[in-house]
Structure 1
Amino acid sequence: MSNTKVTSAEVASLAGVSQSAVSRVFTPGASASAKTAKKVREAALTLGYRPNNIARAMVSGKSRIIGLVVAYLDNQFYPDALEKLSASLQDRGYHVLIFMANTETDNLDKVLDEILDYQVDGIVAASVALSSELLARCRSAGVPVVLFNRSQDVDTLSAVTSDNRSGGRKVAKFFAAAGHNRIGYIAGWQGASTQRDREQGFREGLAESGLALHAREVGNFHMDSAREATLNMFAGPGAPDAVFVANDHMAFAVMDTLRFELGLSVPGDVSVVGYDDVPTAAWLAYDLTTVRQPANQMVAMTVETLLDQIDNTEATPRRVAIDGPLIVRGSARIPEGWTK
C-alpha cells in the first residue's frame, strides 16, 4: 500500500469538480450544493482522502477548536450541560477539547498554557474562575473567554449563569409560605459566584418574609462535606425544620444523612430543597424539590456569545443570568394553596 497522501486535486479530478469545491465541502460553514457535496465525499471515501485541518488553520488563522475547561464532573449538572455545549459547538463546525483543572492557580496556569498551545479560537470556562493575569494572557493571545455557570466582577469578561440570586429568593419564599421558621442553609464552595449569589438571594428572601437564617454550614459542593455539615447542623437542640442546599449533588447526601443516619423524615421532620434539577432529583428515592438551571438556554447563550466574540473582536461583553423555575416535588412541605 502506498504511503503517498491523497490530495484535494485528486479528489476534485475524480469527482469532476473544481479544487475550490472540494475545499468548500470540507470547510465548516462554507457553501456547497448537496449534489456537489455528495460527489466530493464519495470521491474522498474512494481515495481515502482526509482534509488537513492543521494546514487549513495555518492558512486561515482559525483552528476551529474551542477549549472547554471544567474543574470537576461529580455534579451531574456538568456532564449533561457540557454534552449539550459540545454538541452545539460541533453543529457550528467547531471541535471541542476538554481540559480538566482545579481551583489552584498553578494548575490553572499549566492548563491555560496547554489550551493556548492548541491555538484555540475561544475558551469556555465552566465552574472555573480565572485570575486577572490569566485573562490578560488570553486577551494578548486574541482568544475570547466566556464563563459558563460562573461569573466574575470583570467588566471585560462575558458570563452566562442561571439567575442564582432569584433562585435563592424563590426557595426562601417557598419555605416561608409553608410556615417554616427554623431554616438552615448548607453552602457550597465559598469562592464560587454561584454559591455567593444563591445565598444572597436566599437571605434576601428570608428577610422579605420577616425571617432570618437559623443555621448555616458549608458543604463545599462535595457529598462527604455535605454529610458532615448535616451532622453538625442537626447535632443539638433547635435543629432546622427546613434546609436549602446549594446544589442537588449535596442535597442527595443531606437527605441520605437525615433519613438513614439521623432517623428523620423528609419532609415530615425536615423539608429539603436543592438547586440544579439534575436527572437524579426526579428519582422516587429523592423526589427532590429544586430550582432548575435552564441548561439549554444557558448553552445556547454561551455559544452565541463566544462565536460572536470570535467573529467580532469589538463585541460587547455580555453578563447573562437566565431565570429558572422552582420544581416542586415531595422533599419539602408544600404550602397550602401553592400552585406550581
Structure 2
Amino acid sequence: MNQPKPTVTSRDVAQLAGVSQSTVSRVFVPGSSVSEKTKKKVFDAANALNYRPNAFARSLTTNESKMIGLVFPDADYPIHMKTLQLISSELQHLGYAAVLIPWSVDNQDNYTIPNIFQYRVDGVIAASATFNKSLYEECEKFNIPIVQFARVVEGTKSSYAISDNYAAGQQAAQFFYSRGAKSAIYLTGEVPTFTNGERQLGFIEEFADLTSNKPTVIEASYDYDDSLDAIRALFEQGDVPDAIFCATDNLALAVMDIARFEYHMSIPEQLQIVGFDDIPQANWVSYQLTTFRQNFKRLARESVKIITEQIQSGAGNTTKLMVPVQFIERKSTKPSP
C-alpha cells in the first residue's frame, strides 16, 4: 500500500530557502514588505517542495479571507460576462479573489441571495437593482462592506459606482433634436430601476424642453423575445414617432427587426433609434446601432477601489460616484445635416 506523502509546511520552505518561517508567511501575503530577492528564494523553495499556502487557515488567523463576493444577474446579457472579468482582474491585482455568489427567484418574483455570511467574504460587489433589500441589510448586520456596481437600490446605505444616466438621457434628446425629430418614445423594460429612471427622466425633460412635445413612455420587457409583442403593439397603433430611445440595446435591436422586417420601415429615414450599453451586436453590419457605451473598465476599477478601501479602513463611509458615458454614433440615426 502506498504511504501518503508527508505534508509540506512553511517551516520546510523556510529551511530550504534559508529564511525564517515568518518571512515565508509574509511572502504569501499580497502587499507585504519583502525584498524581491527574498521572494524569489521563497518561491523557488516552495516550487521545489510543491508547497501551497493554506489560504483558509491564514484567513482564520488574520480574520480576512481575501475574497470578494460578486452578486450579478445572469450572464446571458453580453456585457455581464465581460464585466465579471474586469472586476475579477482588478481584484486580483490587489491580492483578492472573486467568488460568484448565486441567486434565484422565489415564488413572489423576488430575487433571493443565500446567506452572505456563510461565504466568509470580506466584501460584496452587487450589480443588480432587482434584488430585495435583504442582501444589503444582511451585509450591514454583519459589517460586510457592499458596493453597488452600475446600479442603485434605493433605500440602502451602501456605496455605488454608476454611469451618469440623467446626462445620457439629455444627450439622446439633444441628438434626436439636432437630427430633426419632433416626436419620440422612451422604450423601457418591465423592472423599474433607479438608473433607468434617471435616464428616462433626463430624456423626457430635455426633449420636452427642446420640442414642447413630451415623449411617451412604453413598457416592454428587457428580454429580446419577450419584448416583441409590446413593440408590435406600438407599431400597430399607427402613430409611430420620429425617434425611439431604448433603455437597452436588446430593446433597440428588437425595435429595428420589427420595424424593418414586419412593417418595412426604413431606418433611419422613417425611424431613428438609439440604444444603451453598446453590446457587441450593436456594431454588427445588419444593425449598426447608435448607442451609449458605459465605461465598465473604470466602473470596475472604482468599485474595487471603494470596496478594498472600506475593508482596509473599516470605515462605514458611503461613496457615491458617477462616471460619464460615451455616445457612439452609427447608422440607426440620421447623419449630421
Q: 1:197-234 CA distances to partner (integer Å, 9 max, x unpaired)?
A: 11111111112213434543223321113322221111
Deviates more, 1:172-181 or 1:125-134: 125-134
- Could you say what secondary structure the match of 1:160 adopts? strand
User: Partner residue of 1:281?
Assistant: 282
User: Partner residue of 2:15?
Assistant: 13
User: Partner residue of 1:24?
Assistant: 26
User: Partner residue of 1:202?
Assistant: 203
User: Partner residue of 1:154?
Assistant: 155
User: Partner residue of 2:323?
Assistant: 322
Offset at 1:102? 4.7
Instruction: Please say if 1:272 is aligned against 2:311.
Output: no
Instruction: Please say if 1:261 is aligned against 2:262.
Output: yes
Q: Give me the identity figure in percent.
A: 35
User: Partner residue of 1:4?
Assistant: 6
Instruction: Please say if 1:57 is aligned against 2:59.
Output: yes
User: Partner residue of 2:140?
Assistant: 139
Contact 1:12 1:19 survives alignment (8 Å): yes
User: Partner residue of 1:177?
Assistant: 178
Letter in 1 for 2:292: V
Contact 2:181 2:242 survives alignment (8 Å): yes
- Could you say what secondary structure the match of 2:124 adopts? strand
Offset at 1:314? 2.2
User: Partner residue of 1:73?
Assistant: 75
User: Partner residue of 2:213?
Assistant: 212
User: Partner residue of 2:234?
Assistant: 233
Structure 1 residues 292 and 57: CA distance shift in structure 2, 3 A: same
Equivalenced residue count is 334
TM-score (norm 1): 0.92
Structure 1 residues 19 and 156: CA distance shift in structure 2, 3 A: same
CA distance in 1, matches of 2:319, 2:209: 30
Deviates more, 1:154-163 or 1:170-179: 154-163
CA distance in 1, matches of 2:234, 2:97: 46
TM-score (norm 2): 0.93
Contact 1:71 1:103 survives alignment (8 Å): no
Deviates more, 1:286-295 or 1:180-189: 180-189
User: Partner residue of 1:47?
Assistant: 49
Deviates more, 1:278-287 or 1:168-177: 278-287
Match of 2:40 among 38, 41, 46: 38
User: Partner residue of 2:95?
Assistant: 93
Contact 1:71 1:102 survives alignment (8 Å): no
Letter in 2 for 1:15: A
User: Partner residue of 2:293?
Assistant: 292
- Could you say what secondary structure the match of 1:243 adopts? strand
Structure 1 residues 275 and 215: CA distance shift in structure 2, 3 A: same
CA distance in 2, matches of 1:29, 1:288: 44
- Could you say what secondary structure the match of 1:209 adopts? helix
Q: 1:14-63 CA distances to partner (integer Å, 9 max, x unpaired)?
A: 11121112111211221222222222112111211110111100010000
- Extract unaligned runs of 5+ from structure 2: none
Offset at 1:106? 8.3
CA distance in 2, matches of 1:232, 1:215: 14
Structure 1 residues 235 and 286: CA distance shift in structure 2, 3 A: same
- Could you say what secondary structure the match of 2:101 adopts? strand
CA distance in 2, matches of 1:257, 1:101: 33
- Extract unaligned runs of 5+ from structure 1: none
Structure 1 residues 140 and 155: CA distance shift in structure 2, 3 A: closer
